[in-house]
Structure 1
Amino acid sequence: MALFLVCGATGYFFGNLREDWQNTALVVAALAAIVLVWLLPLASWLNRRYTITTRRIIFRHGFFVRSRQELLHGRGYDVTVRQTWLQSAFRSGDVLVNSGLEHPLVLKDVPSADLVQQVLHDLMQESQTVIGSRRQEQSALADQPPGAGR
């Protein structure tokens, strides 16, 4: 949206200003506005990667310095969706995953944010069920006398 506004205003005013230096300053200001308002946020958005598997969430981000965070579903966490009015119009939003450590993991501008929240809850619940059944199996094996299972 900002790109269209800057281009439209530049196209309207370019050539209508009295001095040549004013037209040049207009183009330079328009290019600076495009870089600051559109290009840098786009590059930042493109350098964030979220991978959700059946076992964990992997979050990679950074432009010059790359960081990687992993969060296992089995450890449990709280999932919250935060939407601005513009995000809710496009059914996107920020998904906050709070595991109780430091700052929550923020998945920014996620399409279908409500669906992502529901899937994360399902994956967490399924992982907890698998962990619970493994613990029951281990305790049953520990309760058997030595040599009984052979």
Structure 2
Amino acid sequence: MFGRDRLHPGERILYETRPRFILNSKSTIIKALSAVIILYLFQWIVEGAGALDNLLIANYGVTVAEKVAWLLTGIIIIILLSILWDVISWRNRRYIITDQRVMVEEGVLWKRRYYINHRKIVDVSFSQSITERLLDSADLEIHGGHEGTNIILRDAPSPSKIEYHISRFTERGYDDVEEILRELSSSRRREPGFADPEFWRPVG
């Protein structure tokens, strides 16, 4: 359902991307730092718990050093599994612009997809924090003609490129699809590649 057959007959992908990982996974970074701190302090914490063992054995007949070591190990494993889940979730979130619509796909176990057709887009707005500006990302909100039809591309990289692809259809109309695709194709052919001598020719 979420392979290439997710496209309508004749539909073509113009641009496909994922959210900027460092922005979309702030909690993942916090988890990773927590795991590093626990690993760094692991020996000290276990040794500190071991220092209490003699007192606890004499008074209560119990030890805590081994239990603390197992507890910290369990916490680290849970954090690492959570980080792995975050990465898999990020890899399964996609922003796709085709010649017919803008789509968002997400989900690992339960896949979800929602989209808005170009002909129904009335406006595109975006917001950028300072961090997003430094990383060339933004939250783009695509407004439909009715309430509840908006979709948001959070932490989308290269927002100007996404806005450009969308505006080509919303400004010129859905009937100009073939002409727009021909222009995009010809512009790609005009851009010199590494094997083209024009690429290495100095400018000016």
TM-score scaled by length of structure 1:
0.68
- Which residue of 2 is the match for residue 56 of structure 1? 101
Structure-1 residue corresponding to 2:86: 41
For residue 138 of structure 1, what is the aligned residue in structure 2? none
Contact 1:55 1:127 in 2 (8 A): no
1:87 to 132, 150, 153: 132
By how many angstroms is 1:62 displaced?
2.7
Alpha-carbon deviation of 1:111?
1.0
**Which of 119, 138, 148 is matched with 1:102 structurally?**
148
Q: Deviation per CA, 1:8-35, whole angstroms, max 9, x where unpaired?
A: 2122111112323222212222332344
- The residue identity in structure 1 corresponding to 2:116 is L
Match in the other structure for 1:11 = 39
The change in CA–CA distance for 1:90 and 1:66 in structure 2 (over 3 A counts) is same
* Equivalent-residue separation in structure 1 for 2:149 and 2:84 (angstroms): 27
Which one of the candidate residues 110, 116, 121 is aligned to 1:65?
A: 110
- Residue 92 of structure 1 contacts residue 112 of structure 1 at CA under 8 Å; is this kept in 2? yes
1:23 aligned to 43, 65, 69, which one?
Answer: 69
Give the counterpart letter for 2:148 in structure 1. E
Which amino acid letter does the alignment assign opposite residue 15 of structure 1? Q
> Is the contact between residue 121 and residue 143 of structure 2 (CA under 8 Å) also seen in structure 1?
no
Q: Match for 2:122 among 51, 57, 77?
A: 77
* TM-score, length-scaled by structure 2: 0.53
Q: CA deviation at 1:124?
A: 1.6
Q: 1:35 & 1:72 partners in 2: Cα distance?
A: 37
Q: Which has the higher contact order (CA 8 A, sep 6+)?
A: 2
Question: What runs of 5+ residues in structure 1 fail to find an aligned partner?
Answer: 132-150
Partner of 1:120: 166
- The count of residues paired between Structure 1 and Structure 2 equals 130
Alpha carbons 1:50, 1:59 under 8 Å: kept: yes
Give the letter aligned to residue 151 of structure 2.
L
% identical aligned pairs: 20
